[in-house]
Structures are given as structure tokens and as C-alpha cells.
Amino acid sequence: MDIAQVAKEVHIASRSAKVGVLGNVSGYDNLKLHPMVEIESVHKDGSVIFNDGSVVLADVILHCTWNSTTTCSFFTFSRCKYHFPFLDTNGIVTVEDNCVGPLYKHTFPPALAPWLSFVGLPLMGIGFILYEFQSKWIAGVLSGRIGLPSEEEMMRDIEALYLLLEASGTPKRYTHGIGHCRMEYMDWFAGECGIPGIEEWRKEIYYATKKNYIVRPHAFRDEWEDEDLALKAHEDFTKCRSNGVDRTCIS
């Protein structure tokens, strides 16, 4: 967005944007999104050819990696790359096209559970809440308080996920994307741990903010229409303070 304020045109080539989101980005006449494409070749005359056949004349190519935010940050996948050169599992856990697996609930490799686990692999979750719930589940499993399914059952669960992704045409690199079920995924951890799940007002605020971001990409932090939800949050926090802070209030 910042570059678009000074450049004649900005073209974003993103493999992680939703199919069908094509053309000018809202609020910018000179910012164009090319979804699900990659640069195929670059030529001396400045022409950039994408793998969908489209061509753009460019002065500068800027590579954006890691956790870069874009105008579509609410519905894209993180651009992180999973790489564990320090971890030797004799081939039990592999990384193929950015899919770490096989992992039960994106966390435990069945053949090495519970002694090896991964925290924070899922994409498009609500970071801190997800990490907290996931860590509590792992701690409960390691303590013996929470049981895991058998290795065979965990593998069946993983294979069912892979089949579902394949049937929906989802690329392997998006295996850890939980955007379509982020709330259910985190509530599942809470249920396993026997703790309250995500409060309804918090879920509503998340979706309201997501909607507001799409409508007001430049002012969503300053303009909103969910005062009633903010009031619910304030009431909940006040209740926590009056009762004394405990772990069920911190989520």
C-alpha cells in the first residue's frame, strides 16, 4: 500500500490469494492483485511474464517473504517456510511442499507421540490464543492427564484430512491452513483440556474486524461499528478483575 502511494503501478503476485480475487485492490486504482500466480520469467526490456500468461512491464521486482502482510492479509496464508535442519527423525517427519507431516492435529507425529510435538504450525489461526490452547493440550498429554488416540487412529485422522484437501483441490502447501475452521480448531483444544473455549464476544469481534478491514483497509483501526461487542468485552474483563485473575479469564 505504501509503495502504491508513490509508484505509477504496483502488481502483487500472490500464490496465497483466493482464486477469483483479480484486478484492482479496493481503494487503489494502481494496485493490482494477481492471485495464484508466480513469475515465470523476466526479460531485459522489463517485461515480467507470469505463469498464467499475463505480462507486466516492471522497473523493480520486490520479493516479499516470511510473514509479509498484504492488502488481503485477512484471508491469505502466511508466507513462512517450514524448515527444521536441526531435527532428525529418520524420515518419520518430513517437509514436502511446506507440509510438515504426518502430524495429528498439526501437532503430534503419531509414530513419535507424545515425545515430539510442534506448536504454532497452523496458518490463519488467532496466534496467541492458538499457541496457548495447543501448549496446554501438549502439557496435558505429557502429564498423562489427557490421552491420545492410538497411532493407527491418529494416522487415519491425518489421512482423512489429506483426502479432504485433495478432493477440494487445496494445494499441499496449504495443509496447515485452518482459516475455514480456526474457531472450531481452537475450541477443540479447549475441550480436550477441559477449559472454557473462546468467548462468543471474542469470536464476534474477530469476524467484525475482518469484515471492517475489507471495507476500510486504511482506517479499520480507527473506524468501527461494533461498540456493543467492545462493551461485552469490557464487562467480561471487569468480571475477571472483580473475581481475581485466574487462568480461565486469560484466553
* 88 or 221, greater pLDDT: 88
Among 52-56, 182-186, 244-248, the minimum mean pLDDT is found in: 244-248
Amino acid at 70: T
pLDDT of residue 71: 31
Please, which pLDDT band fits residue 206 given cuts at 50, 70 and 90? Answer: confident
pLDDT of residue 210: 84
pLDDT of residue 126: 85
| pLDDT of 195 strictly over 90 | yes
Nearest to 39 by CA among 9, 63, 59, 21: 63
| For the chain, percent of residues with pLDDT exceeding 70 | 84
Highest mean pLDDT among 10-14, 155-159, 215-219, 238-242: 155-159
pLDDT of residue 177: 92
Residue 189 CB contacts under 8 Å (≥ 6 apart), including other chains: 105, 130, 133, 134, 136, 137
Report whether 109 contacts 161 (CB < 8 A).
Answer: no
Please, which pLDDT band fits residue 25 given cuts at 50, 70 and 90? Answer: low
* 81 or 167, greater pLDDT: 167
Q: What is the rounded distance in angstroms from the CA atom of residue 102 to the CA atom of residue 92?
A: 8
Report whether 23 contacts 7 (CB < 8 A).
Answer: no
* 105 or 83, greater pLDDT: 105
Task: Report the chain's mean pLDDT, rounded to a whole number.
Answer: 83
Q: What is the rounded distance in angstroms from the CA atom of residue 164 to the CA atom of residue 170?
A: 9
What mean pLDDT do residues 167-188 have? 92
* 251 or 203, greater pLDDT: 203
| pLDDT of 149 strictly over 80 | yes
pLDDT of residue 54: 86
With both helix axes pointing from N to C terminus, report the angle between 200-215 and 227-243 in degrees, rounded to the nearest 10.
Answer: 150
* 225 or 196, greater pLDDT: 196
Q: H or E stretch including 49?
A: strand 47-50
Please, which pLDDT band fits residue 98 given cuts at 50, 70 and 90? Answer: very high
29: cell is 486504482
What mean pLDDT do residues 33-43 have? 80
Write the pLDDT tens digit of every residue in 106-144: 999 999 999 999 999 998 888 889 999 999 999 999 999
pLDDT of residue 113: 98
Could you give the 3-state DSSP secondary structure of residue 157? helix
pLDDT of residue 16: 57
**Helix, strand, coil % over all residues of the chain, rounded to 5:** 35, 15, 50
Burial class of residue 177 (count of CB atoms within 10 Å of its CB; 0-12, 13-18, 19+): buried
